[in-house]
Amino acid sequence: MRISDFLGKHVSTVLETEPFNGWPVERSTEDDLEQPIIQYVFSGHAMALRCDRDDKISVIFLRADKHDKLDENIFEIPFAWTREQVLDHFGAPSKSGERLRDPILGDYGAWDRFSRPTYAVHVEYRVDRDEIKRITLMRSDAVP
């Protein structure tokens, strides 16, 4: 099963599936928003899930983090890939942004978004070198 296959499924599907069922997870909610957000963060592993009010997965966050473990086999591309390799793999992005320096929030790396029939893949690159920092998978109805 690919990680993107979990989008739209109840969070219990992930929590009961190897290797995720062995990972410590912390659930939090933000109820003060128009649409409540339920988040599951897998501590020690560079993955988090955002769910809708029915606990169905709307967004999957995967981070390249030297302090956390993430089996790169759970997604189809390795974090060590360059932007050129990502573009070769996925083709032309539906949206892109270049490196940005925000006076308040600091530096952001370039990014590319790739639309799929039922979801989108957002790839953010590191500021300091040409490799992936974060991969975000979003249901089509969760894409900003």
User: Region 46-58: what's the mean pLDDT?
Assistant: 94
CA distance 2 to 110: 25
Using CA of residue 100, residue 101, residue 102, residue 105, what is the dihedral sign? Answer: positive
Tens digits of per-residue pLDDT, 8-34? Answer: 999 999 999 988 999 999 999 988 777
pTM above 0.85?
A: yes
The domain segmentation of the chain, as residue ranges, is 3-68+75-142
Supply 25's token pair.
């997870």
CB atoms within 10 A of CB 4: 19
Are the C-beta atoms of 112 and 83 separated by less than 8 Å? yes
In the predicted model, is pLDDT for residue 60 greater than 60? Answer: yes
Q: In CATH, which of 3.40.33.10, 2.30.30.100, 2.10.109.10, 3.40.366.10 is domain 3-68+75-142?
A: 3.40.33.10
